Amino acid sequence: MIFDALKLSLFVVCCSTAIVGIAGVAFSYLLAKSSFRGKDLLDAFLTMPLVLPPTVTGYYLIVLLGRRGILGSYIYELTGWSFAFTWEGAVVAAVVVSLPLMIKASRASIESVNTDYETASYTLGKGKLETFLRITLPLARRGIFAGLVLAFARALGEFGATLMIAGNIPGKTQTMPLAIYEAVASGDDHRAQVLAVVLTAVSIAAIYLTNKISRTAFYG
């Protein structure tokens, strides 16, 4: 039981961190480097899960992706499958709640890259994409790593939104935080303790890692 929850948690969190890494960097670039109508709105929309109670975020996910949801009903009609009560649903919940942390960290670091470096790259004939990949991204890497670690930790601890969209099915959607809740509720103190210690260890490691990254000398 403990291993099931641990394995599922790590799997879900790795999937979500990979998605958050790519989507987070793309959104950060968009928010940091371009101006378009509705930019502030997009920013607010993406940041919202940071302040919204996770159960409310989860409720909106059901409204959007549930079997009878706005998008979910189409998906269900086409495929006979829905995000509700699946590990994929748990991944979606983890992505939505951890994306804002990634965006906050990576956007700030992308914005802090001296624009002269990018301009220099343009004068040397390089386009925007190449300049981003070869100049901006490597120079912003500390903030991007820090964002990834924070997103990983936040996703690992995700409870409310996951419970709403993915439920609490042991071996299928029961991640570690849900398993702790169930262990306590059913009076299995030993299991709760072991799970809590494991999660605490991972969280401390995450904090240690972010601090180390932000203190490391930039080059060399």
Partner 1 sequence: MLTIDVKKSFHKQHDRLFHLDLSFSVNAGFTVLTGPSGAGKTSLLRMIAGIIAPDEGVIELGSTVYFDSERRIDMQIQQRNVGFVFQDYALFPHMTATQNIAFGVRASASADRRVKAEEMLSLFHIEHIADRLPHEMSGGEQQRVALARALSCEPRIALLDEPLSAVDIETRSKLLDEIESAQDRAKIPFIYVTHNEAEATRLGTNRIYIRDGRVAAAEIA
In the complex with partner 1, the residue whose CB is nearer, 40 or 116, is 116
Whole-angstrom Cα distance, residue 37 to residue 161?
30
- Asked if residues 155 and 94 have their Cβ atoms less than 8 Å apart, the reply is yes
Distance of closest approach, residue 48 Cβ to partner 1, in angstroms:
34
| Eight-state DSSP code of residue 51 | T
If 0-12 CB within 10 Å is exposed, 13-18 middle and 19+ buried, where does residue 157 land?
buried
In the complex with partner 1, the residue whose CB is nearer, 3 or 218, is 218
Nearest to residue 89, comparing CAs of 53, 57, 124, 62? Answer: 62
Integer CA distances (angstroms), 106 to 26, 125, 136, in order: 10, 26, 11
In the complex with partner 1, the residue whose CB is nearer, 138 or 171, is 138
Residue whose structure tokens are 């291993």: 3
Distance of closest approach, residue 126 Cβ to partner 1, in angstroms:
7
Distance of closest approach, residue 185 Cβ to partner 1, in angstroms:
51
Give the footprint of partner 1 on this chain (CB under 8 A).
114, 116-117, 119-127, 134-135, 138-139, 218-220
Distance of closest approach, residue 119 Cβ to partner 1, in angstroms:
6
In the complex with partner 1, the residue whose CB is nearer, 57 or 121, is 121
